[in-house]
A and B are shown apart, each in its own frame.
Chain A
């Protein structure tokens, strides 16, 4: 509609605006300003920073607050509660009264969220597990974006036979349900040690889940990237650049890539959220992070046996996953609104 600034209303010197100009606002700077002015983006970003900080400080918490080693079982440990020494593994009061039940949330510095079946501090493990979950999801996101960008850009820019081969490959991977693919890959890769030249990947390394999770979502990103590259390659400004006699390599780097970058950036938080859920699911199914490493998924699984007596053990990682994913999605929504290709053109 005609609500935008009349650009010509006054007659001849319509173009005479010279003089004092506001500082140039580039598309990237405007995107940052947009993020900063969105309350949702600022709050969710802050929340995410807090979560990352908390997991980074896990060793500090374990050493100085909880004073435990969350990777060693503490079946015979005892703690002071209300001036009384009580065992971490209490005698069961339910059923036949046989066996032991881990201590519940003390809401104190030690065993804040209680203990798991091994008598380990759940709160400390939650922070350590979060570290792994975030590292895996983050690295997998990066891996996925890089792979998808390369495949999408090559397919979209080269076109022709290259595009046909790559697109069909993508479609083939896409045809597998994500979890089926991830579980099959895990079963093949776990428990093996990989020697690729100087690189040594041990079976329990986090690299294995990172690769698995990073690869399964590649088609979901590569496809839209390819589409965007094709659209940009056919856009007027790329045609104009060709008409000006700009080298193809420079057209790719200077004209196409920066405009595809927005698509990749928009995908990042969504993908990260998806990866956190995938990592947890795989770990929950014992095909993700392997003991003694913890992740939110493994803690969730640990708590499964205690679902009735000590629900906090499985609820805590569940809530952690939910909150993180929600914050990522909120942040991603704002990011998408700001960087959407349609809004890039100004107005």
Chain B
């Protein structure tokens, strides 16, 4: 960044407009490194948030957006951080206040925060009620009975069903979405003028995310709160924000009304970012999977991605899964007896053809990952059913034969760093499977490793390095290269791109499509990200509570969803287009049911009806 653009509108609010609740001028944040050197991570950020306004701070990891939010609440460790500039919160000069004044006047009073992880933000050993009452009483002392009533009212306000009874429950008894509602209730306890929401829905499932977002909007209107919304998700930004501030490596690269930022982005980075975000519905009318646009980083100009040139070979299926069942015993009591059973996967059947991508979508706990692992018998639990690869039945193979058969079906993991042995160089990790399967001499293995490194866009010189020396996107490329070492015919990609930043995600998805086009590999693409799935899959299977509720060609499932759950899932996705805001207000909260069943539970017989050619829907 040689040039740091300034934004006049941030510094001079329009005359006559109410003075902003939050005004940040030239904020700089630096951290002290291990050797005492200061490393500036936010370089002179300025922004304002007016009463009742929602400003989104967007950026990829490392852009400094979360640091900014912590800095303006003065929640960074003063020993290792340095904050300069001017932060005015409702008239209070935040950077010149003492720690005691921050507690007494600012934190939780003028401004409150909610965080990404509702699991860890609540204290596990106090009931939700106790924590709410504490939040209420520390701002406005009141008698216990009154505080209890106020707490129940708050929980009802955030639409927690059966609030009076659930007040005395502990956080572990709440689902992720419900915990986030409790966090919001605690933040609202003091009637803050500004709510800082740091990735509040990132850890939540898509249907729950939709509910939380609409709740936040509704509360904001009722309370007249200003909101600073920090996120990496362009869909959430489009849904929520009045104004959008785009950050890149500690710099603001673009700021403006959300519609303008999305429809007429000025900064190359914003253009590039928007081009990499898959928008649900953008594949309407596209017959085959489409690559993400290639982006020129200097200008941000996007060259439209090429469609996949290779058609699936719809003859005999390559991988055929029949009546796959996977159950885990839940043990409990003194003698660790079986007390219940988790029906993680129940009667799942599908087939994948050569060069085809079948996407398995669903929310957390729906059994999609367990399905993927059960296929290669790595899931644990007790499995039954049949998995055939060509003519080989995998479920009856001996362990030794299974080990050799694994060559044919490879997995690309969700967390590439955890999947690479920290004590092996990349070269060793790539060569190992090749040699283990006796596919050739060591020299050939090394040559192939170098060639594959090239293919996945990395330098063969990096083979000498260790996993920790790579970035997240690079590590995922390494895992792809490792899987390709064995010339597999099926690749199970289990949330393989979910943890990656938007731009990197697009590149890795394009890489997968390139590989499919070249080699005719079949993909089982497991993901919760419906927008990515829409882009790259030939067929889609929707899973809910361990069962497939709908399966069919991509266009049929996405454009004419038949099952109510599929419809709900597609509807809940936030689309990165402010013109298409669609989240319904005052949605009733839905609790995801977990598939824990008593031991004597017999799963109901399911029938599927054919809604169109190859499009099957479970009859309920």
Contact = CB atoms under 8 A, between A and B. Distances in A.
Interface of A: 1-19, 21, 24-28, 235-237, 239-247, 250, 254-255, 258-259, 344-347
A17 B473 CA distance: 12
A106 B490 CA distance: 83
A15 B503 contact: no
Given A6-B61, A12-B294, A12-B297, A21 B468 contact: no
B115 interface: no
Given A8-B471, A244-B433, A254-B421, 20 more contacts: A2-B67, A3-B41, A3-B67, A6-B61, A8-B500, A8-B504, A11-B300, A12-B297, A17-B459, A21-B462, A25-B469, A235-B418, A241-B421, A244-B483, A245-B405, A246-B403, A250-B432, A259-B421, A344-B422, A346-B469
B18 to A, nearest CB: 32
- Do most interface residues of chain B lie in helix, strand or loop, or is the interface mixed? mixed
A25 B468 CA distance: 10
B486 A244 contact: yes
A237 B486 CA distance: 17
Given A2-B62, A24-B469, A26-B423, A245 B406 contact: yes
Contact of B249 (A6, A24, A242): A6
Interface string B311-333: 00000000000000000000000
B612 interface: no
23 contacts: A1-B70, A2-B61, A2-B65, A3-B67, A6-B61, A7-B504, A8-B501, A8-B503, A11-B269, A11-B273, A12-B503, A12-B507, A21-B461, A237-B422, A239-B378, A240-B482, A242-B406, A243-B378, A244-B482, A247-B403, A259-B422, A345-B417, A346-B468
B63 interface: yes
A245 B403 contact: yes
Contacts of B501: 7-8
Contacts of B503: 8, 11-12, 14
Contact of B467 (A9, A239, A346): A346
Contact of B378 (A7, A25, A242, A254): A242
Nearest to A16: B457
Contacts of B471: 5, 7-8, 14-15
Interface stretch (B236-244, B381-389, B407-415, B549-557): B407-415
Contacts of A21: 461-462, 464-465
A6 B60 CA distance: 8
Interface residues on B, range: 35 or more
B442 to A, nearest CB: 15
B418 to A, nearest CB: 4
B589 interface: no
B477 interface: yes
Contact of A18 (B273, B294, B461): B461
Nearest to B492: A243
Interface string B66-80: 110010000000000
Contacts of B118: none
A241 B418 CA distance: 12
Contact of A9 (B63, B66, B406): B63
Nearest to B269: A11
Contacts of B67: 1-3
B119 interface: no
B248 A250 contact: no
8 closest A-B pairs (Cβ-Cβ)? Answer: A346-B468, A6-B62, A7-B471, A18-B459, A245-B406, A236-B418, A11-B297, A244-B433
